[in-house]
Amino acid sequence: MVKEPVELGTVQETLLIPLYGRARDARSRNPVLGDQKAVELVERIDYDFSTFTGPSLAGSVLRTAIFDGWVSRFLREHPAGTVVELGSGLNTRSDRLDNGRARWFDLDLPDSIALRRKFFDDTDRATMIAGSVLDVDWFDQVADAPGPYLFVSEAVLLYLPEHEVRTAVRQLGERFPGSWLSFDTGGRAMMGNQDRNPVFKTLSARMRWVCDDPASIEAWGLRLLDSRTFATPQPEVARGWPHRFRYGMPLLARLAPPLVNTYAMNLYTLR
């Protein structure tokens, strides 16, 4: 099999980390997500995934499970609504959660979308868009789809400087008020540790936006609906986790609080 080469920018290359995390999870005895498509993609991409090591691989799987929980909740409440992934990378959320009625958009930078297009196709309900979370020219395309809208930006905004995150939030709020927006935030303890994180050993990208308290950014035009850490996932999500995570994460949070509590997954409404 001829493998697909990877030609990605510095931050874009980080999309391979959660992909590999999900593939390893799927190959494990007791998986969280069981994402077989990730296994297939890792086999088809020409990249030395073995350079990615450490707890962030499992962390990216738990993070995805928490975001999946909110997308499932949104689709239960709005089965014909629209889910927009901002910085989708090679995620496979719609494969896991599609209900046969929802509309899906996957937005990412052009080189990431070019790679995504090698493995995924547009359908009548799923559309890939090459663009930036900082652009507004794709808003019309999304607004043509039926609301309500859930925007999901998983492990993306962290890589932007704070003023750009603020711009993205403001622009979305102006055009899609009342929509749900979910994204993760990292506090100082996590950000300051990146150079020691083995998953970044061979990558030069680094996360930039420090946010110690997800509620502190409500003044940007957000209302915090829910906030979770790996130790406090939604109960229905935790039920799907193997014991090592379900009981191990709360224990780790008690033994070493900054390790777990500094990283939050958050659900907001845009005001």
Ligand X SMILES: C[S@@+](CC[C@H](N)C(=O)[O-])C[C@H]1O[C@@H](n2cnc3c(N)ncnc32)[C@H](O)[C@@H]1O
Angle at 108 between CA 170 and CA 117, to 5 degrees: 155
Closest to ligand X by CB, 47 or 250? 47
Among 87, 173, 186, 221, binds ligand X (CB under 6 A): 87
Q: Please state, as a whole number, how many other Cβ atoms lie within 10 Å of the Cβ of residue 177.
A: 11
Q: Are strands 103-108 and 126-130 parallel, antiparallel or unpaired?
A: parallel
Closest to ligand X by CB, 165 or 231? 165
**Is residue 59 involved in binding ligand X (CB under 6 A)?**
no
CB of 53 to ligand X, least distance (A): 16
**Is residue 83 involved in binding ligand X (CB under 6 A)?**
no
**Is residue 15 involved in binding ligand X (CB under 6 A)?**
yes
**Is residue 88 involved in binding ligand X (CB under 6 A)?**
yes
Site map 150..169 versus ligand X, x via CB under 6 A: ----xxx--x----------
Closest to ligand X by CB, 82 or 88? 88
Selection from 111, 146, 140, 152 nearest residue 6 by Cα: 111
Interacting span for ligand X (CB under 6 A) from 38-46, 81-89, 186-194, 222-230: 81-89
Closest to ligand X by CB, 17 or 145? 17
Structural contact between residues 196 and 148, judged by C-beta atoms closer than 8 angstroms: no
Among 25, 35, 68, 108, binds ligand X (CB under 6 A): 108
| Cis status of the peptide bond prior to 18, with omega within 30 of 0 | no
Q: What is the DSSP letter of 9?
A: -
Adjacency order of strands within the sheet including 126-130: 126-130, 103-108, 82-86, 149-153, 180-186, 263-270, 222-228
| Residue 130 DSSP SS3 | strand
Q: Which residues bind ligand X (CB under 6 A)?
A: 11-12, 14-15, 17-18, 87-89, 91, 108-109, 112, 132-134, 154-156, 159
